[in-house]
Structure 1
Amino acid sequence: MPRNESIKKVLVIGSGPIVIGQAAEFDYAGTQACRLLRAEGVATVLVNSNPATIMTDGDMADAVYLEPLNLETVKRIIEKEKPDSLLAGIGGQTGLTLAMQLSKEGFLAEHGVRLIGTTAEAIDKSEDRQLFKDAMAKIGQPTIPSGTARDLETAIRTARRVGYPVIVRPAFTLGGAGGGIAQNEDALRLVAANGLDASPISQVLIEKYIFGWKEIEFEVMRDGAGNVITICSMENMDPVGIHTGDSIVVAPALTLADREFQMLRCAALAIIEELGIEGGCNCQFALNPDSFEYAVIEVNPRVSRSSALASKATGYPIAKVAVKIALGYTLDEIRNDITGETFACFEPTIDYVVVKFPKWPFDKFYGSSRELGPQMKATGEVMAIGLTFEAALMKAVRGAEIKQDTLNRRPTDRRPLRERLRTKDDLRLFTIFEALKNGWSTVEVSAVTRIDRWFIEKIKNLADFEAELARSGLTDDTYLRGKVLGYPDAALLRLSPGGRIPPRQPLCYKMVDTCAGEFVAKTPYFYSVYGGHCDARTHRKPAGEAIVVLGSGPIRIGQGIEFDYSSVHCVRTLKEMGYTVVIINNNPETV
């Protein structure tokens, strides 16, 4: 379908200040949206309250309003600017909530403003816990035993019906805000009260806690003609109960049998079709590791943190494609900028492993609880790409800026190993490694942590290698295997009782191309591996001097989106001066 020419002027709602669960990924999405809208000749009006964002630059929109993101402000801007359309799915939960409030009040209809992309009905069916549950029942998609509540007494009655322990999930919130796990009624009274207060519609879902099930995500895209594809599968290393933002996440999903993968993929496609979402959405599933039983956890009908990770992991520009769909284009009309040949209807294929590792703020809050649960605590994340899970994990740990270049970390307390292993905290990966080095079997570790044994076996590969290195010292063979597993030279020398670093092979750089090498990529986007063919050497480089710009890494307290802002402006200026610019960063949320 050609572009909808009736869309002349669009109001884009940003995401406001950085909070836990809502960081630079929405500036990444908003910047893509504003640039694309203007390139399509659409007058663009932006409202956001965060001055450190790229999207609030004067050249990003025809009019930029640095104003509080509340109903009164947005109403004033609509009355003044008179847009015909509102794009809400780019500003995260903030944009969605404001759009829904304006729609339900009748303000948008009164002023002739329509929601483009995902409709108000689709947002409601996705975010309202009861409507979502009803929609899933209609298409035969299983959900976890649960019930919605708008007051404390209903929450208590629901918990008694489904049985303790339960997870409390507030509606229309971000990062699991206000949620938690309740083991009994006393705990539920506290958690449910917080959840009801956090939800803008005072609604919580009381859900049976299915401890030990896997958590799987699918990023899905649908256009207005009903064409739908899956962009990326992702798998949490931690089981259900830990917020996906606090879990180590891998892409693609690595522990699923083909039948399990196809079952969940088909479910994700059916869900986005039933909800009527136009654009991108994130579907989250719980999968019983001992059977083919699964349940739908929730759906985010908007660009999210997972969307940014999936975009960088595959090279598929989710936010850009979602905006094109909002303008009326179909997937087969949207060209893939990476290959320049394929279109957005091609499902990405990747021939590498991506690991996302959270960045937690516990170093800033000494003595605070490090235990993880349904409410997100991480302030940011790093992304690493490797040819194996071990190599990608080691790279992610090094990049997280936690002063670790291996998985060897001293315990922070003197509790017995089994007790520490049972604790769901940010140090669990290192505790697992400690247990394996102390002779625990992978079966024992998996039974205590409920982490899939495949991941434990891969971590054991690292423990076994270190044991061999300690016995035999650093030889040409152990050095090569250590590099393939992701160990830096300094760590190999430190862990070895003797030996030297042999003549080094140069690092090779592989290209992210969305199609596993089937088509030639025109946009250079590289990750490092040890040995093999180097794609970067065959990539034609522009003439002139080259300058490397170093990014700022993961978002943490004291270092936020403002450094992404600075990096982007630095790159732009250097390119305008005629330089070839290379940027190095490991934060998937950045512009």
Structure 2
Amino acid sequence: MFKRLLIANRGEIAVRIIRACQELGIETVAVYSDADVDALHVKLADYAVRIGPAEAQHSYLNSAAIVEAAKTAGADAIHPGYGFLSENADFAQMVTDAGLVFVGPAAATIRQVGNKDAAREAMRTAGLPMTAGSAPMNSIEEAVQAARQIGYPVIVKPVSGGGGHGMSVAGNETELISAITKFANFTMSGTAFYLEKYISCARHIEVQIVADNYGHVIHLGERECSLQRRNQKILEESPSCALVPAMRQKVGELAVQAAKSVHYTNIGTVEFLMDNAGNFYFMEINPRIQVEHAITEMVTGIDLAKTQILLAAGQPLNMQQEDITVNSHAIECRINAEDPELNFLPSPGQIGFYHQPGGPNVRVDSGVCAGSVVQPYYDSLIAKVIAHGKTRGEAIRIMQRALAEFRIDGIKTTIDFHRRLLDNPYFRRGNIDIQFISNQMLVPSAIR
């Protein structure tokens, strides 16, 4: 087991990993930018190392500085968390080349699944179902021709990257040209893109996979991640109320099949779209811990953060697929420092009063406290509220109680938006899809 682990991240995920390490008896090293010198993760870690100025590209995205910090602090391993360098194959390789352990899949695996074209080809060879799509391209002319063959609507996706960044839907040629122009302006680097057939009214279903270094792979059930704004998840549930047992078994088997086809190790997520007929289509593999990992932990009783570290240390997976049972329901609300009335505009600033909910079956993963400064340089996620109930209805009621208790002053947050969302009759009936937020929840003044 590692003696000392460096967390190459910040915020709530850094705090979550620190807590997992404390329970495993591992010393922790936090890294911080000049903006985060007083951040919560810095205060909780055993050691802390400055890695650069506030801007992420000079600190949390500075691979060389992070590896040097790990060596200086005497760390055995580096955990990337999510975001930042977590899906950067070159960083994973740099960590390994430095004689340290990267807590995640191998660099070659990250490189393969991170390239969407290579990943789709691997999944096609492995027999996974997927939507019609194009080869990578860089020009409007190529895209127009490909879209005519695929048929509208189509979705424009970057070949590399994740998290929904740079994606746009086009229903006709004019919209396609506009989407590609927007994509070019977004990337500013000539990044290649590809097209996929867009499935209307689809659900976003993802499956948590766990794999050791010895070829043993299982899944921990699915998560419903259809509630999104600007292709970014805002509320997640496990399990999905749309799946019957046969569908649940099918998508779990597909996820394990996908993981085995690329010799995946550690934990990760296989993501699918599901159409109205209950058909699943492979989207991508995320080679990292997900923001929404907590709901899987609640319904399975398995600590994914600790599992990730144990697998990286070479321990074999000590469970079989038949050991995994889900007989409850969990919901996660992402609390972002954003103003939903202004199209989720970020709301940085200093938090004044801060009171987070508690009580039975409520968990809060937070990276802030009273007096914390929410920085404008990074992602706006500041906390996650997780409610756990015997049924979906009970989990909703527990979440409503928790959000009513959550108080954050000094900045705008998504707390009240989530309260409205939980009251929505369509949501309560489980009648949702990936367009639900934009079609049902955004007031006209917010769409500007």
TM-score for the superposition, normalised by structure 1: 0.55
Q: 1:166 to 1:428 in 2, by over 3 A?
A: same
In structure 2, relative to structure 1, the CA distance for the partners of 1:347 and 1:204 (3 Å cut) is: farther
Q: Any idea what the Cα deviations from partners look like across 1:510-550, whole Å, max 9, x if unmatched?
A: xxxxxxxxxxxxxxxxxxxxxxxxxxxxxxxxxxxxxxxxx
Which ranges in structure 2 are unaligned for 5 or more consecutive residues? 346-378, 404-414, 426-432, 444-448
- Does the 8 Å contact 1:12/1:47 carry over to 2? yes
Q: CA deviation at 1:52?
A: 5.8
Equivalent residues in 2 for 1:108-187, closer than 5 Å: 111-112=98-99, 115-153=102-140, 154-187=142-175
Aligned length: 379
Is residue 349 from structure 1 mapped to residue 325 from structure 2 by the alignment?
Answer: yes
The answer to whether the aligner puts 1:56 opposite 2:56 as a matched pair is no
1:425 aligns with 2:437: yes
- The residue type equivalent to 2:224 in the other structure is E
Distance (whole Å) between structure 1 residues aligned to residue 323 and residue 233 of structure 2: 25
1:230 match: secondary structure = strand
Deviation at 1:158, TM superposition (A): 3.1
**Aligned match of 2:293:** 307
The answer to whether the 8 Å contact 1:93/1:173 transfers is no
Cα distance, 1:268 vs. partner?
0.7
* Paired residues of 2:30 and 2:49 also in contact (CA < 8 A): yes
Q: CA deviation at 1:141?
A: 0.8
Which range is displaced more, 267-276 or 389-398?
389-398
Q: Deviations over 1:86-136 (max 9, x none)?
A: 535x33131225x423467xx557645564531111111211111111110
- Which of the numbers 342, 363, 366 marks the counterpart of 1:365? 342
Cα RMSD of the aligned pairs, angstroms, is 4.0
Percent identity over paired residues: 20
- Which residue matches 2:238? 251
Q: Distance in 2 between matches of 1:148 and 1:9?
A: 44
User: How far does residue 295 in structure 1 lie from its aligned partner after superposition?
Assistant: 1.1
Q: What is the SS of the residue equivalent to 1:93?
A: coil
Look up the SS of the partner of 1:254 in the other structure.
Answer: coil
Distance 1:182 1:377 in 2: 28
Which secondary structure does the structure 2 equivalent of 1:55 belong to?
helix
Letter in 2 for 1:268: A
**Residue 374 of structure 2 corresponds to which residue in structure 1?**
none
Q: Distance in 1 between matches of 2:384 and 2:28?
A: 31
- Give the distance between the partners of 2:176 and 2:344, measured in 1 at CA: 25
**What is the DSSP-based 3-state SS (H/G/I as helix, E as strand, rest coil) of the residue aligned with 1:75?**
helix
Deviates more, 1:282-291 or 1:258-267: 282-291
Q: Does 1:286 align with 2:298?
A: no
Note if contact 1:216-1:287 (Cα within 8 Å) is conserved in structure 2.
Answer: yes
Unaligned 5+ runs, structure 1: 16-22, 333-342, 369-375, 410-420, 432-591
User: How has the CA–CA distance of structure 1 residues 260 and 225 changed in structure 2, closer, same or farther, with 3 Å as cutoff?
Assistant: same
Distance 1:405 1:191, change over 3 A: closer
Matched residue, 2:203: 214
For the Cα contact (< 8 Å) 1:27–1:54, is it kept in 2? no
In structure 1, C-alpha distance between the alignment counterparts of 2:322 and 2:284, rounded to whole Å? 25
1:287-327 alpha-carbon deviations (Å, 9 max, x no partner): 23325x32111111101112233224433211111011101
Counterpart AA for 2:301: G
Answer yes or no: is the 8 Å Cα contact 1:177–1:195 preserved in 2. no
Change (3 A) 1:249 1:287: same
Q: CA separation in 2, counterparts of 1:81 and 1:422?
A: 40
Aligned position for 1:383: 386
Contact 2:165 2:231 in 1 (8 A): no
Deviates more, 1:253-262 or 1:75-84: 75-84
Contact conserved, 1:14 with 1:91, CA < 8 A, in 2? yes
1:441 paired residue number: none
Mapped pair 1:277 → 2:274: no
Whole-angstrom CA distance in 2 between matches of 1:189 and 1:221: 40
The verdict on how the C-alpha distance between 1:305 and 1:111 changes in structure 2, with shifts beyond 3 A counting, is closer
**Offset of 1:363 from its aligned partner?**
4.1
Instruction: Give distance in 2, aligned partners of 1:189 and 1:430.
Output: 26
1:47 aligns with 2:31: yes
Name the SS of the counterpart of 1:266 in structure 2: helix
- 1:133 partner SS: helix
The equivalent of 1:329 in structure 2 is 315
Distance 1:405 1:222, change over 3 A: closer
| Displacement of 1:378 | 8.4
Inter-CA distance 242–46: structure 2 relative to 1 (3 Å threshold): closer
Whole-angstrom distance in 1 between the partners of 2:66 and 2:438: 43
Shift of 1:348: 4.0
Amino acid at match of 2:303: P
1:71–1:112 Cα change, 3 Å: farther
- Indicate the residue corresponding to 2:52 in structure 1: 67
Q: Specify which structure has the higher proportion of strand.
A: 2
TM superposition score normalised by structure 2 = 0.70
Amino acid aligned to 2:156: V
User: Offset at 1:365?
Assistant: 1.7
SS in 1 for 2:206: strand
Alignment of 1:410-449 (within 5 A): 424-425=436-437, 428=440
Task: Summarize deviations over 1:358-400 as a string: whole Å, max 9, x none.
Answer: 55744452798xxxxxxx9988654333333333334434524
Return 196-205 or 350-359, whichever deviates more.
196-205
Q: Which position in structure 1 is the counterpart of 2:81?
A: 91
Match of 1:491 in 2: none
Cα 1:384–1:430 change in 2 (3 A) is farther
Distance 1:115 1:281 in 2: 14
